[in-house]
Structure 1
C-alpha cells in the first residue's frame, strides 16, 4: 500500500518535534500536526517561562545583598507588565525556532488538531485524512483540577503566565514540584503566598532530608506552608475567591492555583477505537520500544506517563527513530535520570533517596548542611545541603542530593559520575575546587548514618 507519509507525528512539543526532525533527516517523508503552539508544555507553558519567572523572582534580594557587599543600590519595584511583555516575545521567538526546525528539515506541518482514524490514517480537524506507515503520538499532558465545588474558579500553571496583573494574595494547592516552584516564584515577586498540601510533607518521593530542608527554607522566606490541609470548596466572593479547607477554616484569596497533578492528553483522539491500549490514568500503554498495542502506532513523552520530563521525551523520540527508521532497536534508558527542581532553594537530585536505598540494601549516608559564603556574608541565614547515599557492599554512590543555589547545574555533572557507577572512593579521590559549595561533595569523610 502507498502511504502519504512514512511518519505522521501528532503533537509539536519537544518529543514530537525531535522525532519528526530526525526521521526526516534520515530520508523519511514526515508530517506533524499541532493544535496549539509549537514547542509544547516545556517551551510555551512549562520549564522555559517558569525558569524565567524563577530568575525574575530571585532578584527580590539582589539590592539588599548588593548593599551588604558595599554597593550603593536601592531596591525598586517589580513591574509585571514589563516582564510579561519580554516573556511573550521570548516565547514567540522560541516557537518560531521550533517551526523553522521542522520547515528546514522538510517536515510538512498542519496547524490543527489531529486524531487517529485507523492504524495508518490520521484525520485532521477540517476532515482531511492522511495516511502514514507509522503514527507517533506525542500529545503530552495537561494540568488537572481537584474535583471540588467551585473548581472552575481556580487557575492552573497554564494560566499563571497570562495574568493581567499579579495578585496580592494567592493560594497554591499541591505539594509536587510545580506547586512548590510557583510558591517560591510568586512569593519572590511579592505576592503573599499560601500553599496547601494534603500530605505530611511537600515533594513526596524525593529524599526526606532534602524536602524537609526545602520546606523549612520556604517557610523562612515567608511562604505560609500548610501541610495536612486540602481544599473542600471554592466560592466567588466579589472579585476574590473564598476557600473552605479541611480544617474547617475559611480564607479569602485573590487567586487560587491548583497544581494537583497532570493527565495525559488522550481524550477524543480515537485511540481505544483503533485498539491502542489506554491505562488507568488515561496514559497510552507502550512497550520498552514505545510501541503501542497497534504495531504501526508509537507514543513518546508525557502521554505515556513514564518519566514526565522534557529531556526524557526527547530521548524517547530519538530511540523511536533509531528503532523504526534506522533498524537499530533502541530502548530509552530511564535509569538514573538527574533532575532539577527550581524551588527556592533549588534541588538537584540523581539516583535513590536515602529511604529508597535503605529499603534495598545496607547503606552509608554522607551529609553536610552549612551556610554558603555568598549568602552568609550578606547576612542571610540560608542553608544548603550536600548528600551522598552509598552502598556498603559495592561502595557505589546510589544517590546524590543537593539543595543549593545552582543545584541543577551541579547535579548535571554529578549525574555523569553516578551514571558511570562511581564509588564513594572515586569521589574522595577527586580534589576539591575551593572555595565552592560543591567541594563538600568530595570532602565528606565520615558517614552521618549507616543502616
Structure 2
C-alpha cells in the first residue's frame, strides 16, 4: 500500500492544471486529485480568453451594417442589449465549466471544491479541514489582476469584473496599455461605450513590434477611442464629491469621430450609471485633465496567485512578483513540488500552460524528461484590427544580428470597397546571414487565424525563399506574406 494518498495532487483547476491531472490519471494511470477554490476552467475559460473573445465577436457586429450597405444590402440597425448578451455569455461559461468537471470525472480524478495550501513537501491542507498527501504536488493556481497603489483605487474595476456589469456604461476610462487594456478598449468602443484610454508609456503594446503596434494605435484612434499615451491617473474619487472640477473636460462628438458616434447610437439606451461601484468616478490625470466616467477599468498588470499558500514555508522559492521559480522541467527547488502556467510568470498564455502540463506528465509519470519549449510561440491580440505575432520584433532582431525587413501596408479589398480607411500590415523579419524568418507580424482582421498557420512554417525554420516558393492564394490579404520580394530596409 502506498505511503501517500495520491501520486499527484494538483492545486488549481485551470486549463494547465486540468490537462495535467487528466493525462496523469488517464494515460499514465496515476492516482490523482485536484483542488479548485473557485470555478473550474480558470482564468481563460471563466474570466479571460473565452468570455473576452465572445465580447469581441459581439462588438464587431456594430460595423457590419454599414459595410453591408456599401455592398447593396439594406438593414435597420437596432440597439445592443447588454443584458441579453450577458445572460447568454454566462450560460455558455457554465456549460464549459461542466465540461471541465466531467473531463476530470471521466479520467478518474478526485476533485475538491476547496482552497488548498501546502503543509510540507508532500502534504496539502484543504479549507474543508481535510489533509491529503501526495508523492508529487503540482501548483497551477494562475494569476489575478492588480490595482495600482492609489487612494480610492477600489472605485475602479479590473478585468475579472467586466463580465458582471449590471448595465453597459455610457463612458469608460481604461488605465493601461497592454493587450488586455487595448482589447477591452476596442470591445467597449464597438459596443457603443465612449472609451478613453490612458497609458503612461510612449506607445501602447510595449514589447511588440513598433510598426505593428503603431498601426493598431492609429486604428484605435480612427475608430473613436480617445487614446492618450504618456498619461496616467494621479487622483480619483466619487464624482459626487467636491473636486472643483472643470466641466470642460468632455470630448466633443467631432473630436471623437463619426464612427464612434454611430456606434454610440446603436448602444443600449438609458443604461444606469455603473461606475465606482456606486456611481460615476471623477479622475484627474498627469496632463492636468479632469473628467467623470461611469466606469474606470484598471488593466495595469497581473500577479501570480501564491499568497498565503505556505509555499515559502516548504522551501519553494518565489520571485520578486510572487511567481514560483522553476527550472526547465517546471520543477521547484523542492523536488516533489512542480508549478506550471501563469503562477510561474514565464509565458502567460493558456496553450503554453497546457503544454507545460503535458511536459510535466511526460517528465514525472512517463519517464521521458521533457523540457518546456518556450521558443517561437505564436500569439494574437484581439484588438480591432487584430495583431498576430511570432518570433522577434524588428527592434529585437536588429539588436542581435543583421536583418532584412519585408513589409507592406495597404487597404484591404473588402473594406476599401466600402469606403473605409482601414489599413492592414504584413511584415517579415529575416536574417541576412542564413535567410531564416526570425519574426512575422500581421495587423489585420483575423490576424490570429493567419499567424497560427504562419507559425508552423516559422517554427520549422522556414527561410524567406521558402515563403517565396509558396504560391499565393488570390485574392486574399495573406497572400502578401509570400509575395514581398524586395526588402524595405536592412539593419
SS in 2 for 1:126: coil
1:13 equivalent to 2:53? Answer: no
How far apart, CA to CA, are the structure 2 residues paired with 1:429 and 1:59? 37
2:52 alignment partner in structure 1 = 50
1:22 alignment partner in structure 2 = 23
Q: Is the 8 A contact 1:197 1:229 kept in 2?
A: yes
Shift of 1:121: 0.3
1:442 alignment partner in structure 2 = 482
SS in 1 for 2:158: coil
1:155 alignment partner in structure 2 = 157
Shift of 1:333: 0.3
2:336 alignment partner in structure 1 = 296
1:165 alignment partner in structure 2 = 167
- Select which of 342, 361, 378 maps to 1:338: 378
Q: Is the 8 A contact 1:151 1:233 kept in 2?
A: no
2:363 alignment partner in structure 1 = 323
1:424 alignment partner in structure 2 = 464
State how 1:66-215 maps to structure 2 within 5 Å.
66-215=68-217
State how 1:339-378 maps to structure 2 within 5 Å.
339-378=379-418
1:274 alignment partner in structure 2 = 314
TM-score scaled to structure 1, two decimals? 0.99
2:248 alignment partner in structure 1 = none
1:216 alignment partner in structure 2 = 218
SS in 2 for 1:422: coil
Structure 1 residues 356-414: Cα deviation after superposition (integer angstroms, max 9, x where no partner): 00000111000000011111111111000000000001000000000000100000000
How far apart, CA to CA, are the structure 2 residues paired with 1:70 and 1:368? 30
How far apart, CA to CA, are the structure 1 residues paired with 2:144 and 2:162? 14
- Select which of 308, 313, 316 maps to 2:353: 313
TM-score scaled to structure 2, two decimals? 0.91
State how 1:249-264 maps to structure 2 within 5 Å.
249-264=289-304
SS in 2 for 1:315: helix
2:4 alignment partner in structure 1 = 3
SS in 2 for 1:232: strand
How far apart, CA to CA, are the structure 2 residues paired with 1:57 and 1:323? 43
How far apart, CA to CA, are the structure 2 residues paired with 1:249 and 1:347? 31
Structure 1 residues 150-202: Cα deviation after superposition (integer angstroms, max 9, x where no partner): 10001000000000001100000000000000000000000000000000000
SS in 2 for 1:216: helix
- Provide runs of 4+ in structure 1 moved above 3 Å: none
Give RMSD over aligned pairs: 0.6
Unaligned runs of 5+ in 1: none
How far apart, CA to CA, are the structure 2 residues paired with 1:366 and 1:209? 12
- Select which of 440, 447, 467 maps to 1:407: 447
Unaligned runs of 5+ in 2: 241-278
SS in 2 for 1:357: helix
Q: Is the 8 A contact 1:64 1:75 kept in 2?
A: no
Shift of 1:283: 0.2
Shift of 1:127: 1.5
State how 1:383-402 maps to structure 2 within 5 Å.
383-402=423-442
SS in 2 for 1:35: coil
SS in 2 for 1:431: coil
Q: Is the 8 A contact 1:149 1:232 kept in 2?
A: no
